Amino acid sequence: RKEVEQDPGPFNVPEGATVAFNCTYSNSASQSFFWYRQDCRKEPKLLMSVYSSGNEDGRFTAQLNRASQYISLLIRDSKLSDSATYLCVVNGDKIIFGKGTRLHILP
């Protein structure tokens, strides 16, 4: 298993739909988990941290499953402005970025 693996995408989704991203990690000792969003030729920006109990921020919900070693991100009622690349980040022995999943929201 790769250190951090994400759906390759791209996801082309109509506006208003719900989108789900999954990410798996190989290091069971990983300590913290994050979702970042990156727009083209821009720096990644923290979207949300992921906690074991799951956490929600508006239309965004993140969940962590330590037993299965995966994290997820759910976007509800997607907006055109949600179009970006979503990066899964796992902190274990070192901070590792997934390759990202590109999301295109279609009008």
- Which residues contribute to the site for another protein (CB under 8 A)? 31-32, 34, 41-46, 49, 87, 89, 91, 94-100
Q: Which is nearer to another protein, 34 or 78 (CB)?
A: 34
Helices vs strands, H then E, count in the chain: 0, 11
CB of 18 to another protein, least distance (A): 25
Residue 19: burial class (beta carbons within 10 Å; 0-12, 13-18, 19+): middle
DSSP 62-85: EEEETTTTEEEEEE-S--GGG-EE
Min dist CB 39 to another protein, Å, is 11
CB of 17 to another protein, least distance (A): 24
3/76 with CB nearer another protein: 3
